[in-house]
Amino acid sequence: MPVITAPENYNAEELYVDLRPSFGQPLYLKCEGFNFAGSIKLKAATAMVEAAERDGLLNPDSVLVESSSGNLGVALSMLAASKGYRFVCVTDSRCNLATRRAIEALGNDVHIVTEPTPQGGLLGARIDHVRELCAADHRYVWLNQYRNPNNWQAHYRSTAPAIARMFPELDTLFVGAGTTGTLMGCARYFREWRRPVRIIAVDAVGSVIFGGAQGQRNLPGLGASVRPALLDDSYVDDVILVPEPDTIRACHRLAHAGFLFGGSTGTVVSGAIGWLSAHGPGDGTAVAIAPDLGERYLDTIYQTNWIHGLYGEDVCESWHGADS
């Protein structure tokens, strides 16, 4: 069975799972889904909102608006509700129903974009819709997670130092790529650290973040149809592209070991295990960041009919075979 480890007097965001017993590779998983918002996105959301308040961009009449595939939308919904702002989350048809309901339950609005733009895909359409809302009403304030430096700075100040404290002999860090805020914050921190750390970015097949061909993606979270402005490739040592069926297989292997994680985590774990298998584990210490938990994916990744409809029955057979 996987082993859960945590530093003495740990908080909920410093929980780690040793995946060696389940996957046969020396990999620790940093679990970021135990805060109130259920994902790592609460860090970036908090940093961006607090910076906007310090800069005088928000007032009692302001309406926060952001493009999100889901997790940041929930985090901003919680902050908006607690601070008395309205919030509009602009998402697309891939956003999980449970996520949309959570945002609405917190008293906020969800706008769903269904038609992609020719070049920017659904993300481009979401951003266009955000810009239209801001142009039509001066009360709307777009934090713009794709360009906001507070996104990566939140992880430079919190996520990366927490990993460094827990693993002072860290050699390799696997980080999923979406807005690349987590990736850039951690990469910048470890570039300045006392010892070299390999930074491995994990992306989804069909994403254009690292120059890949744009393709259909059904899972929210990692990947993008527009290259993020925050990304600086010079901080990344290697890139792994993970097909969505492999994401689903990793999620189910984790679930069968007792851990219910989200799609972004499945992608990162699949990519990390594949990379370690190909390059040899050696004696180094490897950590992967798990952005979210799996409750919001029960109607998709963990629903057999949904999987069959998109990927066929072979995906299910392959994970059952891996457990036998």
pLDDT digits (tens, 9 = 90+) for 18-40: 999 889 889 999 999 998 898 99
- d(CA 289, CA 182) in angstroms, rounded, equals 9
Average pLDDT, stretch 290-316? 89
The token duo for 60 is 């009692």
Give the torsion sign (CA, 160, 166, 168, 172): negative
Please provide the average confidence, as pLDDT, over all residues in the chain.
90
Largest CA distance in the chain: 59
Count of CB atoms within 10 A of residue 168's CB?
11
pLDDT of residue 17: 93
pLDDT of residue 225: 84
Average pLDDT, stretch 178-186? 96
pLDDT tops 70 at residue 161: yes
- d(CA 227, CA 182) in angstroms, rounded, equals 15
pLDDT of residue 318: 56
Q: Exposure of 282 by Cβ count < 10 A (0-12 exposed, 13-18 middle, 19+ buried)?
A: exposed
Say whether 275 sits in a helix, a strand or coil.
Answer: helix
Determine contact, residues 311/216, Cβ cutoff 8 Å: no
Q: How far apart are the first and last CA of the chain?
A: 15
**Alpha-carbon 127 to chain mean position:** 18
Average pLDDT, stretch 198-225? 90
Q: What global pTM score does this model have?
A: 0.91
165 pLDDT tier (thresholds 50, 70, 90)? very high
Q: Give 317 or 140, the one with higher predicted confidence.
A: 140
Average pLDDT, stretch 166-178? 95
Give the torsion sign (CA, 208, 212, 216, 221): negative
For strands 3-5 and 15-18, give the pairing.
antiparallel
Nearest partner of 86 among 51, 50, 120, 62, judged by Cα = 62
Q: Exposure of 222 by Cβ count < 10 A (0-12 exposed, 13-18 middle, 19+ buried)?
A: buried
Count of CB atoms within 10 A of residue 284's CB?
15
pLDDT tops 90 at residue 216: no
